[in-house]
């Protein structure tokens, strides 16, 4: 079931895997449904999902055959982890204090810098990068190409013929691996 998979992924992305956990499974499942709702508005998945954040349901299940959708699972888990980290950051803002008098000072806001870095470099950044990659791949389509004088040519990313079909995705995937 989607919630089982996403809960494990989100717990690992938020480092909520200790004996004492910050979030219940229900809270993580709700965050996953919210993330799915937001991501589905941002990215056109190949499958149309019915997402109910009140009843915490997603249909069809993207983790079960025949509708397995690894793109959706990855984006949703990263988005949910990003939201959890943002909430922890906002909660931390209210917890930090900074007091100073003539000769002494107390500053408990130092930990917020770590949260700020986590927001810049953690799951939020990974979500943005994956979203950009998937959007680029989705926008690439097959087209026609004219190549040189030869009637048949071989390229490292696949076979194609002069004025034949050419997969831009194959070309992109070839160079993406470097």
- Give the start-to-end residue ranges of the domains of the chain: 2-139, 143-176
What does the pLDDT read at residue 37? 94
Higher pLDDT, 94 or 16: 16
pLDDT at residue 156 greater than cutoff 70? no
CB-based burial label for 77 (10 Å; 0-12, 13-18, 19+): buried
Contacts of residue 74, Cβ cutoff 8 Å, sequence gap at least 6: 130
Q: Say which residues have a Cβ less than 8 Å from residue 83's Cβ, sequence separation at least 6.
A: 31, 34, 35
Q: What is the pLDDT of residue 161?
A: 46
Per-residue pLDDT reduced to its tens digit, 74-93: 999 999 998 887 766 545 45
For the stretch 100-140, pLDDT in tens is: 666 666 555 555 555 555 556 778 888 888 888 888 887 77
Predicted pLDDT of residue 85: 77
Q: Is the pTM of this model over 0.75?
A: no
pLDDT of res. 67: 84
Residue 71 DSSP one-character state: H
Angle, helices 70-95/111-121, rounded to nearest 10 degrees: 160
């Amino acid at each position: 079931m989607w919630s089982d998979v996403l809960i494990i992924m989100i717990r690992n992305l938020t480092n909520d895997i200790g004996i004492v956990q910050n979030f219940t499974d229900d809270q993580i499942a709700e965050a996953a449904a919210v993330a799915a709702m937001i991501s589905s508005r941002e990215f056109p998945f190949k499958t149309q999902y019915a997402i109910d954040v009140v009843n915490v349901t997603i249909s069809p299940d993207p983790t079960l055959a025949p509708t397995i959708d690894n793109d959706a699972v990855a984006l949703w888990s990263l988005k949910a982890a990003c939201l959890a980290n943002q909430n922890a950051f906002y909660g931390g803002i209210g917890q930090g204090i900074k007091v100073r008098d003539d000769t002494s000072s107390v500053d408990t806001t130092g930990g917020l810098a770590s949260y700020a870095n986590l927001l810049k470099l953690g799951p939020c950044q990974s979500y943005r990068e994956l979203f950009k990659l998937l959007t680029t791949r989705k926008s690439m389509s097959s087209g026609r190409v004219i190549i040189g004088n030869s009637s048949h040519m071989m390229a490292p990313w696949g076979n194609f013929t002069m004025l034949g079909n050419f997969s831009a995705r194959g070309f992109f995937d070839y160079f993406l691996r470097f």
